[in-house]
Amino acid sequence: MATLGIDALLRDFDDRLPRGLARAISWAESGRGAELIARLYPRIGRAMTIGLTGPPGVGKSTLSSALVKKARSLGKTVGVISVDPSSPFSHGALLGDRIRLTEHFVDPDVFIRSMASRGHLGGLSGATADAVMLMDAFGLDVVLIETVGVGQSEIEIAELAQTTLVALQPGSGDSIQVLKAGIMEIADIFVVNKADHPMANQLRREIRGMMEMLSFSGWVPELVMTQAVSGEGIDDLWRAIESHLVYLNESGEIETKRREAFTHQVRQLALGRIQRRLARELHEHPRTDLDPYAAADAVLERFNAVGEDGDAPDFAVRPRAVVKGLT
Amino acid sequence: MATLGIDALLRDFDDRLPRGLARAISWAESGRGAELIARLYPRIGRAMTIGLTGPPGVGKSTLSSALVKKARSLGKTVGVISVDPSSPFSHGALLGDRIRLTEHFVDPDVFIRSMASRGHLGGLSGATADAVMLMDAFGLDVVLIETVGVGQSEIEIAELAQTTLVALQPGSGDSIQVLKAGIMEIADIFVVNKADHPMANQLRREIRGMMEMLSFSGWVPELVMTQAVSGEGIDDLWRAIESHLVYLNESGEIETKRREAFTHQVRQLALGRIQRRLARELHEHPRTDLDPYAAADAVLERFNAVGEDGDAPDFAVRPRAVVKGLT
């Protein structure tokens, strides 16, 4: 990594030039985030971070756009991270959805970034956490992370964001799935979007019914009805987000949230490097002479032995692993 | 693990009692598969393994059921592994889908098992691979692994099965997503189900068009039109599966497939243990005094140092990690 490069980048960053932030995120995406984050880390912790998840078609991008508008009307600068899911079967509507954010493309105080999720390994990419930190360090007041709720990204988003919004749509049977998958645990605020839908009230009753079956210590999830297209309910939603933030600060839970986000990121970083090393081990010593369990033992033994030998354990970023499917 | 337990289990297994297979899979699911697999490993490699994936609503369970019927009509015994996705937003129809397999519940030569996918970490659980091996060792002729194509399980299924069927539905925009996500690489056979749909022919043309844009070395994916509900096209589908198997054997690619399935399983096993150890490290030495990259370095250093000290690196299965979200 050229030090010249990072200094120029940080100058742009300090001058609050969007290209500085854009390049910083690109560096993080290409695995060159370490020095950058180390230098900018002291500046983070000021932004309000909001996660938004929900099934395809619920209107997340319209909700995002409405929230951006609201935040802008309060004079706040906003960053939006839009995570594209890796699922091949998610939705043809994705590109169309993006378009809804275009009304903010010309606003210099709104920074929008699409990021791919990790693909084979699933979940949010490590660069998503970097992007949140970079937007925070850049001085954006609000960082909104939007992800389609497929796979486990909806769980991870709750580890990254201070406040997690789970958007559900009427007439879809979502509520049952939410209960089944324990998504109650991650929702700070439920958003019933498309509140004009004939089954909207039924969904509200179902969510309320679910909540009555559970006991909460601390924050009890709020439920807000919105029509993101017309902007209806967005003020209520913003109020709910703010009161959650007040709760986090007054209860001290904000620190737990920060620690969780930190741990999440450290785990993803460490795991990424371990996986690359594991891929190399498997490629170089596949041990197809053993059964899979015995082979796993053998691989792990070597994994440790490499450390024992004093042979430099190589955790550096390497070209894409040769073992098919592990990237 | 009580040796008495495993011997009784293996007796049931040898007597081809379904409860022997059921218990064996349960053992694998609860992390006690090692000794079992070691003992049964020499018996595997005989079954025909078929993966079936596709978006929710495409009719996978009806297709599964039709394939089971076909295999039974040829006198083959069948195992079905139905992987429930971890996505909370997948589909309310899941339970309904399961019901379509009930017509085979009373057939003693059809063994059906539902398995949860891994949840937080995404993808197929390690126990799925164990279940395939156990069904194979049990002597079932055909093992069908059915999974909803959300997250990365649709990629993993191709690593486990000899022949991968990708089912698509007309009028859904699936074909574009398939191309975009590189799912072409995993499909040995495309199944256009609901062939009576007005847009079925268009989907067929789209898939053909996609294939023309690519060059294949070896097997060129077949495309079969089915109406699983009425059984139409299932004979063609079975023929396509059989000719793919003939191709695999004649080209020698069957060995590559086996090695991939093996590597996949070893990687999952090793990774699972590493992740548990990592969770412990993060819990015991969170290093919140550092930035995330530096903390990851510190964690990895300790990770190796534990080996260097001669301190027994503990890869054993432990109770659920305390670090929230990593299970």
**How many other C-beta atoms can be found within 10 angstroms of the C-beta atom of residue B73?**
11
Same domain, B13 and B58: no
Whether A120 shows a pLDDT value over 80: the answer reads no
Residue A73 distance to chain B (closest CA, Å): 33
Highest mean pLDDT among A156-170, A302-316, B116-130: A156-170
Query: Final residue of a domain: which of B251, B266, B297?
Result: B251
CB B151 within 8 A of CB A123: no
Q: What pLDDT, in 10s, does the model give residues B44-72?
A: 999 999 999 887 778 888 899 999 999 99
Same domain, A155 and A292: no
Q: What pLDDT, in 10s, does the model give residues A191-200?
A: 999 889 998 9
Query: Final residue of a domain: which of A251, A280, A303?
Result: A251
Same domain, A158 and A170: yes
Same domain, B149 and B217: yes
Across A12-21, A124-133, B177-186, least confident range: B177-186
Q: Which residues form the domain of A19?
A: 1-43
The enclosing H or E element of A233 equals: none
Interface test with A, best of B35, B266, B304, B317 (most A CBs within 10 A): B266
Same domain, A199 and A83: yes
Ramachandran region, residue A52 (left: φ > 0; alpha: ψ -120 to 50; beta: rest):
beta
In terms of CA atoms, which chain B residue is nearest residue A155? Answer: B120
Q: What is the pLDDT of residue B74?
A: 97
Note whether A181 contacts B: Cβ–Cβ < 8 A: yes
Amino acid at A221: P
The CA-to-CA distance between both ends of chain A, in Å, stands at 22
Chain A residues inside the 8 Å CB shell of B305: 307
**Paired tokens of A73:** 């009307």
Note whether B316 contacts A: Cβ–Cβ < 8 A: no
Note whether B175 contacts A: Cβ–Cβ < 8 A: no
Helix extents (H) in chain A? 3-14, 18-29, 33-40, 60-73, 94-99, 126-138, 153-160, 174-180, 200-212, 234-251, 253-284, 292-308
Q: What is the pLDDT of residue B308?
A: 36
Query: Half-sphere exposure of B33 toward its Cβ, with a 13 Å CA cutoff?
Result: 28
The better pLDDT of the pair A73, A114 is held by A73
Q: What pLDDT, in 10s, does the model give residues A200-249?
A: 999 899 888 878 877 788 899 999 999 999 999 999 999 999 999 999 99
Please report the residues numbered 101 through 130 in chain A whose beta carbons come closer than 8 angstroms to any beta carbon of chain B.
Answer: 119-123, 129
- Chain centroid offset of residue B193 CA: 21
The better pLDDT of the pair B256, A184 is held by B256
Same domain, B200 and B304: no
Same domain, A173 and A262: no
Q: How does DSSP assign B107-135, residue by residue?
A: -TTEEEEEEE--STT-S--HHHHHHHHHH
Q: What is the pLDDT of residue B158?
A: 81
Given an 8 Å threshold on Cβ–Cβ distance, is A313 in contact with B304? yes
Given an 8 Å threshold on Cβ–Cβ distance, is A303 in contact with B259? no
CB A91 within 8 A of CB A149: no
Q: Which CATH number does the domain housing residue A239 bear?
A: 3.40.50.300
CB B239 within 8 A of CB B165: no
Given an 8 Å threshold on Cβ–Cβ distance, is A37 in contact with B293? yes
Same domain, B216 and B302: no
Give CA torsion, residues B136, B222, B57, A119, to 10 deg: 80
**How many other C-beta atoms can be found within 10 angstroms of the C-beta atom of residue B315?**
19
Residue A235 distance to chain B (closest CA, Å): 26
Same domain, A276 and A134: no
Nearest to B315 by CA among B278, B287, B262: B278
Q: What is the pLDDT of residue A310?
A: 35
Q: What is the pLDDT of residue A248?
A: 97
What are the residue ranges in chain B where pLDDT is below 70? 1-4, 84-106, 117-125, 148-154, 173-184, 305-327
Nearest to B122 among A123, A183, A279 (CB): A123
Given an 8 Å threshold on Cβ–Cβ distance, is A122 in contact with B313? no
Q: What is the pLDDT of residue B93?
A: 34
Query: Final residue of a domain: which of A232, A251, A270?
Result: A251
Residue pairs between chains A and B whose CB atoms are closer than 8 Å? 233
Given an 8 Å threshold on Cβ–Cβ distance, is B260 in contact with A324? yes
Q: What is the pLDDT of residue B117?
A: 63
Note whether B284 contacts A: Cβ–Cβ < 8 A: no
In terms of CA atoms, which chain A residue is nearest residue B117? Answer: A151
Q: At which residue do the structure tokens 């937003």 appear? A: B89
Q: What is the pLDDT of residue B267?
A: 87
The better pLDDT of the pair A88, A325 is held by A88
Q: How confident is the model at residue A271 (pLDDT cuts 50, 70, 90)?
A: confident
Given an 8 Å threshold on Cβ–Cβ distance, is A278 in contact with B267? yes
Strand-by-strand arrangement of the B189-192 sheet: B110-116, B78-84, B142-148, B48-54, B163-168, B189-192, B222-225
Given an 8 Å threshold on Cβ–Cβ distance, is A292 in contact with B262? yes
Same domain, B141 and B227: yes
Across A37-46, A87-96, A276-285, B14-23, least confident range: A87-96
The better pLDDT of the pair B312, A274 is held by A274
Domains in chain A: how many in total?
Answer: 3
Given an 8 Å threshold on Cβ–Cβ distance, is B159 in contact with A325? yes
Nearest to B270 among A149, A300, A308 (CB): A300
Non-local CB neighbours of B263 within 8 Å, separated by 6+ positions: A282, A286, A323, B159
Q: What pLDDT, in 10s, does the model give residues B163-211?
A: 999 998 887 766 666 655 556 678 899 999 988 999 899 989 988 887 8
Same domain, A265 and A143: no
Same domain, B149 and B186: yes
Give CA torsion, residues A173, A179, A185, A186, to 10 deg: -20
